[in-house]
């Protein structure tokens, strides 16, 4: 396993991280525990979850699986997206974040998280309030580092400016949709993060499975695919992305690898990417994804992938989660 600093911080994370959105939903508790233990046994230290994943089940399952092994993990969770329909069940106010952190810690069975991330920008709460709340969390010892997710570049830069002006903790990471099938962060977000020393944590690194090559069309989705378990996902299955996924699969085949491993390895070659979080519903999927660590990409392959994926630098992001 390779380990990298998360942005300009002193926190080191595994180049491949474990996304846990499926735990308690598409993967039952026993399977989820097996995936977590296999990940830790093979050097994966970064575990990413959120207070809303599988209706809080993801955090609970992780907490149970980490008993006796908490020290082996860099544990990251998030808050900010709606937890219910009430007026105090969303956003990044002091009220909401304080309550959500306490509940996350209880579910995770720990007294601190390594990285606490704001799940999305809150237009109704002043950034100063959010950042002062996070500062207090760090000073209390319940949070080690702070990060953001789903912020636009100007929102993230504004937050960094306020932190610098007031001497508050800075966001050290930015979690965003980023893959060969979604290079939109390269237009503004990544240059901004490069300038400010903020590490990139891609989510949807396989474009929800499109970059595994398993989709032949939007109408013929595999039984275990996200498009079947989450019908809303079909909106992502555009003809150009599916065609591109097949092209990536062919390049990977020529290298004696898989489309998944190749797509993950490409992200790891991007200079600002600190860790790539990839989910899974079985240990076998994780084994395939771990092969990306040892996949050596020469300049010819990288250039070919850059050329083929160039159209995905423009247009809308593959995914972004915002408060309405």
Where does the chain show beta strands of DSSP type E?
3-5, 12-14, 16-19, 46-48, 74-79, 113-118, 143-149, 171-177, 199-203, 276-278
What are 280's two structure tokens?
């899974």
Q: Residue 294's pLDDT is what?
A: 92
Q: Residue 135's pLDDT is what?
A: 98
pLDDT band at 222 (very low <50, low <70, confident <90, very high): low
pLDDT tops 60 at residue 280: yes
CB-CB contact of 89 with 83 (8 Å): yes
- The 10s digit of each residue's pLDDT in 130-169 is 999 999 999 999 999 999 999 999 999 999 999 999 999 9
CATH class as words, domain 3-206+266-297: alpha beta
Helix then strand count (H, E) for the chain reads 11, 10
- The 10s digit of each residue's pLDDT in 167-179 is 999 999 999 999 9
Beta-carbon contacts of 231 under 8 Å, excluding residues fewer than 6 positions away, are none
pLDDT tops 60 at residue 228: no
Reduced to 3 states, what is the DSSP secondary structure of residue 150? coil
Q: Residue 218's pLDDT is what?
A: 53
- Among 313, 180, 196, smallest CA distance to 251 is for 180
pLDDT tops 90 at residue 120: yes
Q: Residue 324's pLDDT is what?
A: 81
pLDDT tops 90 at residue 224: no
Residues annotated as catalytic are 53
Beta strands at 46-48 and 16-19: parallel, antiparallel or unpaired: parallel
Q: Residue 226's pLDDT is what?
A: 61
Q: Residue 217's pLDDT is what?
A: 58
**Considering the chain, what is the average pLDDT of its residues?**
93
CB-CB contact of 92 with 125 (8 Å): yes
Q: Residue 237's pLDDT is what?
A: 74
CB-CB contact of 159 with 169 (8 Å): no
Q: Residue 213's pLDDT is what?
A: 80
């Amino acid at each position: 396993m390779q380990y990298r600093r998360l942005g300009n911080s002193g926190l080191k994370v595994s180049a491949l991280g474990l996304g846990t959105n499926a735990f308690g939903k598409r993967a039952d508790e026993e399977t989820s525990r097996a995936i977590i233990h296999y990940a830790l046994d093979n050097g994966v230290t970064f575990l990413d979850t959120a207070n809303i994943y599988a209706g809080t089940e993801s955090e609970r399952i992780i907490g149970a699986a980490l008993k006796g092994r908490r020290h082996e993990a860099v544990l990251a969770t998030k808050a900010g997206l709606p937890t219910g329909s009430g007026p105090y069940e969303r956003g990044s106010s002091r009220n909401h974040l304080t309550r959500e952190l306490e509940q996350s810690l209880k579910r995770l069975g720990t007294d601190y998280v390594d990285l606490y991330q704001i799940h999305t920008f809150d237009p109704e709460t002043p950034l100063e309030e959010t950042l002062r709340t996070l500062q207090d969390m760090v000073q209390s010892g319940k949070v080690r580092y702070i990060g953001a997710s789903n912020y636009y570049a100007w929102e993230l830069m504004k937050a960094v400016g306020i932190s610098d002006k007031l001497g508050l903790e800075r966001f050290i990471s930015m979690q965003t949709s980023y893959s060969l099938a979604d290079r939109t962060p390269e237009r503004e977000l990544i240059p901004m993060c490069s300038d400010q020393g903020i590490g990139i944590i891609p989510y949807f690194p396989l474009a929800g499975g499109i970059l595994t090559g398993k989709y032949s069309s939007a109408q013929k989705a595999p039984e275990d695919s996200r498009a079947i378990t989450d019908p809303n996902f079909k909106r992502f299955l555009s003809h150009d992305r599916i065609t591109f996924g097949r092209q990536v699969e062919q390049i990977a085949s020529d290298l004696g690898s898989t489309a998944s491993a190749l797509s993950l390895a490409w992200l790891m070659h991007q200079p600002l990417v600190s860790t790539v979080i990839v989910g899974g519903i079985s240990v076998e999927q994780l084994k395939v994804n771990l092969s990306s660590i040892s996949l050596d990409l020469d300049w010819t392959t990288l250039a070919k992938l850059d050329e083929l994926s160039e159209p995905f630098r423009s247009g809308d992001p593959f995914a972004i989660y915002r408060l309405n």
